[in-house]
Amino acid sequence: MIFDEISSFYQSYTGKKCVIGYSVRGREIYAFHTGDSFGRQFIAVYAVHGREWITARLALKHIKKGVARGGGWIIPLLNPDGAIISQTDLPLWKANFRGVDLNCNFDAEWGQGRLNTRVRGSENCIGDFAFSEPESAALRDFTLKIKPYVTLSFHTKGEEIYYEFCGRGDLRGARILSECTGYKIRKIYGSCGGYKDWCIYRLRIPAYTVECGADGLSHPIKRLHRLKKCYGALKYFTEAYAK
């Protein structure tokens, strides 16, 4: 199980690390620091959706590669319960244990998305209110504590980069990510309540979503090499964005 992999890595990791919170089922949500501890910091989050658990392995790749400049925090598995559901019972499950889509649960035009629903299920359920879920609340609180200069969210799939919400966003960073991965930069409409959206809308900082892996792949992606275009993305971004 991917949760066991991340837990084992946490135990052996000798760098700065912490638990930012717990899932509905009480599983730890781990964070790992990489690079310099002083100066401005980034946050990168992975496996927000259960069926996208392969991005947690991408996070480990990014931790091991390190960053070129500065430092920041990597959260490999925001949704451990959903990942376990995907790996053991319902492969296409996106939500957390309570059936809430965590990327619809942030306070950024919450509930206004085109496909949003209050019906509990695998995807698009917004929850009872913004930050109703312990996983999204934990990421909110950690983000407010760290005060990052930028955030990155790694999802699957489609080989696209999103950088904008409600007319705001920093295209420069999207171009850097595109240079590194070869992915297309896109604006999306009718989608609200995501972590990227909240960072742009409420915190007024640049934020990016990277959809790793070709669109022709099937969920859940099980082979890390399918995401190889993203292996160097974080290291490249931290070097180029700082210039």
CATH level 2 (architecture), domain 2-241: 3-Layer(aba) Sandwich (3.40)
Three-class secondary structure of residue 240 per DSSP: helix
Task: Give dist(CA 243, CA 240) in Å, integer.
Answer: 6
Neighbours of 71 (CB within 10 A): 18
Strands 168-169 and 184-186 come out as: unpaired
What one-character-per-residue DSSP string does 16-85 give?
A: -EEEEEE-TT--EEEEEEEE-SSS-EEEEEE--SGGGTHHHHHHHHHHHH--SSSEEEEES-S-HHHHHH
Residue ranges covered by each domain of the chain = 2-241
- Spatial contact of 239 and 69, defined as CB atoms under 8 Å apart: yes
**Cβ within 8 Å of residue 150, ≥6 positions away:** 42, 173, 205, 206, 207, 208, 241
User: pTM to 2 decimals?
Assistant: 0.96
For 49-74, write each residue's pLDDT tens digit: 999 999 999 999 999 999 988 999 99
pLDDT per residue as tens, the chain (243 positions): 999 999 999 999 999 999 999 999 999 999 999 999 999 999 999 999 999 999 999 999 999 999 988 999 999 999 999 999 999 999 999 999 999 999 999 999 877 878 889 999 988 999 999 999 999 999 999 999 999 999 999 999 999 999 999 899 999 999 999 999 999 999 888 788 899 999 999 999 999 999 999 999 999 999 999 999 999 999 999 999 877
- For residues 236 and 180, is the Cβ–Cβ distance under 8 A? yes
Q: Tell me what the pLDDT averaged over the chain comes to.
A: 96
